[in-house]
Amino acid sequence: MGEVDPAFIQDPEHRPKLSIIEAQGIPLIDLSPLNAADSISDPKAIEGLVREIGNACKDWGFFQVINHGVPLHKREKIETAARKFFAQPLEEKRKIRRDEKFVVGYFDTEHTKNVRDWKEVFDFLVEEPTLVPASPEPEDKEETQWINKWPENPPELREVFEDYSQEVEQLSLKLMGLIALSLGLPEDRFKSCFKDQTSFIRLNHYPPCPSPQLALGVGRHKDGGALTVLAQDEVGGLEVKRKTDGEWIRVKPTPNAYIINVGDIIQVWSNDKYESVEHRVMVNSEKERFSVPFFFNPAHYTQVKPLEELTNKQNPAKYRPYSWGKFLTHRRLTNFKKLKAENLQIYHFRVSE
């Protein structure tokens, strides 16, 4: 992946702390009541689950789920396919490198001078084509289509991941239903927002790093979408910034669990009741690490704003409405060219008090 940039080493904002709290930390939630045949006749089990989800979203912004309904063999297939893809020569992987025309595909940091994220990735869209605004400019009403770049090898990768995406999409919809209930909303409150979703899946590969104390797999950040559903291997490395004291908490891998985190859109929809939380990924000097996040995002025409049901005179809207499609297009295009404004964040839409 190249050498660690000396300027990065001197940057205290991004340099990892040496003292990290090693802990399970975030809540572990059993979703089996959703899969039970008698769940309808046992509303108390669902009520307890909704309460757990609500507390996790409020206190952590993160939680893990087990007994989630995604078949283990399908998860094993995607992990095998991801390993096969990243094991290929670099020139083979770069045949499907993403660019301004094809905004998803392969990307690595080998060719960049400032190595901040010690990883290589492959992205693909869940819906193909995905309809988005042609540009982030507010006055531009044109639309365009994003399509995927699929590798030739391994030949089974596309079929395996298209099948897997349907499973994790269903899990995401179930979780959004529980989150809606925890906010006192109808279970299907968010379902229509994802009819023409702009969701995507990312394959992450973090090679062993010769100086793990000087680099990060992914720097501190928040997710801009609605919900992230992360599958990770047994190596681990994900760290979450605890809301109570700002300490970084290492998330210990739980076999066959998914790590779920609230994104910026849910923070805005909930009018800050649930907060999108900073997280980062540490690297390992001896072991490579693989992870597969599913970024569950609404349709491009969604106007993101605090929900009317959750706002009133005592709790007025804390954000101005913004176009998710314009927000997403701006984020993606900053990967390829320098735009006039800085990378969009939800705080740009916060209402001044």
- Inform me whether the pLDDT recorded for 13 exceeds 50: no
Backbone angles phi, psi at 180, to 5 degrees: -60, -45
Per-residue pLDDT, 4:
38
3-state SS of 196-220 is: CECCEEEEEEECCCCCHHHCECEEE
Share of the chain above pLDDT 70, in %: 87
Q: How far apart are CA 126 and CA 166, in angstroms?
A: 8
Residues linked to residue 322 through DSSP beta bridges, in sequence order: 304
Full set of structural domains in the chain with CATH: 6-130+150-301 (2.60.120.330)
Q: Per residue in 211-244, pLDDT tens?
A: 877 778 888 999 999 999 999 999 989 999 999 9
CB atoms within 10 A of CB 206: 27
User: Is the pLDDT higher at 181 or at 18?
Assistant: 181
Per-residue pLDDT, 87:
97
Q: Which residues are CB-neighbours of 192 under 8 A, at least 6 positions away? A: none
Mean pLDDT of the chain: 88
- Inform me whether the pLDDT recorded for 137 exceeds 50: yes
Least confident span in 11-20, 46-55, 102-111? 11-20
Per-residue pLDDT, 36:
67
Q: How far apart are CA 324 and CA 133, in angstroms?
A: 10
The H helix count followed by the E strand count for the chain is 8, 17
Per-residue pLDDT, 259:
97
Q: How far apart are CA 189 and CA 191, in angstroms?
A: 6
Q: How far apart are CA 259 and CA 278, in angstroms?
A: 14
Segment 82-95 shows an average pLDDT of 96
Per-residue pLDDT, 333:
75
Segment 128-156 shows an average pLDDT of 92
Least confident span in 91-105, 168-182, 329-343? 329-343
pLDDT tier at 290, thresholds 50, 70, 90: very high
- Inform me whether the pLDDT recorded for 37 exceeds 70: no
Residues linked to residue 206 through DSSP beta bridges, in sequence order: 289
Least confident span in 7-21, 99-113, 232-246, 261-275? 7-21
pTM of the model: 0.89
Backbone angles phi, psi at 289, to 5 degrees: -130, 145
Q: Per residue in 165-191, pLDDT tens?
A: 999 999 999 999 999 999 999 999 999
Per-residue pLDDT, 40:
55
